[in-house]
Structure 1
Amino acid sequence: MNNKRTHILECAMKLFAEKGFHHTTIQEIADKSGVSKGSVYIYFRSKNDLILSIVEHNFSMIQEQMEAWNQTGLPAREKMMRKLNVYLGILQSRKEFFIMLIREQGMNLNQDLKRIFRDFQVQTHTWLGTSLEEIYGESIRPYRWDMTIIFEGMLHSLLRMWVFGRSEKDISVFSTYLLERLDDLAKGLLDRNATPLIDEKTYPHSFRDFCSNNGLPWKEVRQLLDQMETKINEEPSERLQEYLHTLEILRKELDKTEPDPLLFQGMLANLKGVKALDPIRQKVATLLNIQLI
């Protein structure tokens, strides 16, 4: 990465952490970087472009260093420990980045930034889930998502305490503590034969709906499809299986990272034969900004 561009990124990140994204101006970033305002615009089109580049740069750094440990022949538990040390180590050395993320949690994310957050979280959840099965075996698979979400909550809570409480504890102390709590959690779930709160079907839907890449209200669309199925079953028809198959196709489309509204436009036309569905079809069309055909 260009040295001047990197320098501007670092200065902007510190200002965003200190003052907040919306209260920092391009002129202030230029002044702190020791360059002209025009020079900032040579490398970045806007403040949004700046924060996008900051997040992308730091997430890529974390992913690359953690991925390096996948190429080793270390036991699963040791590999997990090393990855945690990398994750915590980068955030320790780049506290401004973590503070910036916390400060801007409520900001209105543009689609590119939302995509980066989504992809990073998917990758993080994937390596956590894989690591859990490698450490505790296949018996832990039903609890993979429960443990991933709980672990993520513990990790981020400890990070907040660490960053803002100025803890002097060594990184390995935190990593060891987190792994031991995972041991406790795994043992408790398995001993109790607990019913998982989040399963393989629930997690992908809720996560994808929350992080939808194109900003459309897919969660509401999914609920409307459920209403359609109820109506179809209430009015028996010779085309019952055809209608249900249409809904199944639409649900499979919802399982994609970026569902296609135009496919919905075509498939909704197949449901014109059920009068009771007309108001619901119109709601879906309105949500997706498409015309019924």
Structure 2
Amino acid sequence: MYDKKQQIIEVGMKLFAERGFHSTSIQEIADHCGISKGAFYLHFKSKKDFTVAIYRYYYDTVKNRLDEVGARTDLSPWQKFELEIEVFFEEFMRKKEFIIMHFQEHFSIHKELEVLVFKMRIEAHAWYEKNLLEIYGDEVKPFIVDGIILIEGLVDSYMKVILFDGVDLDLKEFSKFLARRADDVIRGMLNKQEKPQLNKAMFKPLYQINDRNELREKVNTILVDMKERLPNLVLEKTKFEDLDKTLDFLLKEVKKEEPEKIIFQGMLSNFHGVSELEDSRQQIADLLEIKLIS
């Protein structure tokens, strides 16, 4: 991301948190950045698009750091879990302005932002599921959804205490404490052979999409996100041009009443090996219920 664009986003996050989304004008954001209003619109088409950029910036920052921990081979699954909690809360503390805006503002969310938030929630659940399976094995599968909901509740509660009550915690020690409490939750269910209360079938908006238009909208938004991120990746010119054309083609295909799944399956293979877009590629495959090929 360009330094100026990042600066505008961070200033906007801070002003939204201090004054509120509706009370902060584009002109005020531009003034605080030392740029003209016209220069702001060189980076963002509208205030709503700017809001989407803020969410994407926060999401990408957290995800990139978590991916770095997840890729380490010198840590056990449990050590990764502890460190990922620590990293998550570190970024939470650095981006408190964003969290304040998220909790305090109730502005109307347009479709692109709604789908991005949906994507963030899916990936959060996938992250929890991956960690729980790596630590506890197949035994935890019946309790995956209950475990995720309970652990998310712990995390969200501590986030609010830190945010709104100004509590200052030692993040390294706190992360270990929270990981142990998550362990208490999971082992309690396993040891007592509790009957699971939740399963994925109960969460159709999260795990299943039955409406055809909604499905196309979600795939379209992921493709748009991939196209916007593509110029920031380190790629050879020919590779960049090939992927850019692929995305343009898929964006046309997804607008059809019945997008051809086999076309998506074939063309998504062009992105194999582009690690920064692998999650997006997998999300489209999951939504369309197709198997990725190399």
TM-score by length of 2: 0.69
**Does structure 1 conserve the Cα–Cα contact (< 8 Å) formed by 2:150 and 2:185?**
no
For structure 2, the residue ranges without an aligned partner over 5 or more in a row are 216-253, 259-294
Output aligned runs, 1:137-216, within 5 Å: 137-203=137-203, 205-208=204-207
**1:75 match:** 76
**Does structure 1 conserve the Cα–Cα contact (< 8 Å) formed by 2:14 and 2:97?**
yes
Give, in whole Å, the separation in 2 of the partners of 1:28 and 1:7: 14
**1:47 match:** 47
**Does structure 2 conserve the Cα–Cα contact (< 8 Å) formed by 1:11 and 1:29?**
yes
What do residues 266-287 of structure 1 show as CA deviations (whole Å, max 9, x unaligned)?
xxxxxxxxxxxxxxxxxxxxxx
Letter in 2 for 1:163: L
Give, in whole Å, the separation in 1 of the partners of 2:85 and 2:147: 16
**SS of equivalent to 1:147:** helix
**2:267 match:** none
Letter in 1 for 2:112: D
**1:230 match:** none
**Does structure 1 conserve the Cα–Cα contact (< 8 Å) formed by 2:89 and 2:171?**
yes
Give, in whole Å, the separation in 2 of the partners of 1:81 and 1:40: 40
Q: 1:70 to 1:213 in 2, by over 3 A?
A: farther
Give, in whole Å, the separation in 2 of the partners of 1:116 and 1:22: 21
Which protein is bigger by CA-based radius of gyration?
A: 1
Q: 1:186 to 1:117 in 2, by over 3 A?
A: same
Identity of aligned residues (%): 30
Output aligned runs, 1:229-240, within 5 Å: none
Give, in whole Å, the separation in 1 of the partners of 2:202 and 2:142: 12
Aligned length: 219
Output aligned runs, 1:45-124, within 5 Å: 45-73=45-73, 74-104=75-105, 106-124=106-124
**SS of equivalent to 2:200:** coil
**1:235 match:** none
Q: CA deviation at 1:122?
A: 1.0
For structure 1, the residue ranges without an aligned partner over 5 or more in a row are 217-258, 264-293
Q: CA deviation at 1:209?
A: 6.9
**Does structure 1 conserve the Cα–Cα contact (< 8 Å) formed by 2:15 and 2:24?**
yes
RMSD of aligned alpha carbons = 2.4
Letter in 1 for 2:142: P
Asked if residue 4 in structure 1 is aligned to residue 9 in structure 2, the reply is no
Give, in whole Å, the separation in 1 of the partners of 2:200 and 2:56: 28
**SS of equivalent to 1:38:** helix
Q: 1:208 to 1:103 in 2, by over 3 A?
A: farther
The structure 1 segments of at least 4 consecutive aligned residues displaced by more than 4 Å after TM superposition are: 208-216, 259-263
**2:14 match:** 14
**Does structure 2 conserve the Cα–Cα contact (< 8 Å) formed by 1:13 and 1:100?**
yes
Q: CA deviation at 1:261?
A: 11
**Does structure 1 conserve the Cα–Cα contact (< 8 Å) formed by 2:27 and 2:37?**
yes
Output aligned runs, 1:217-228, within 5 Å: none
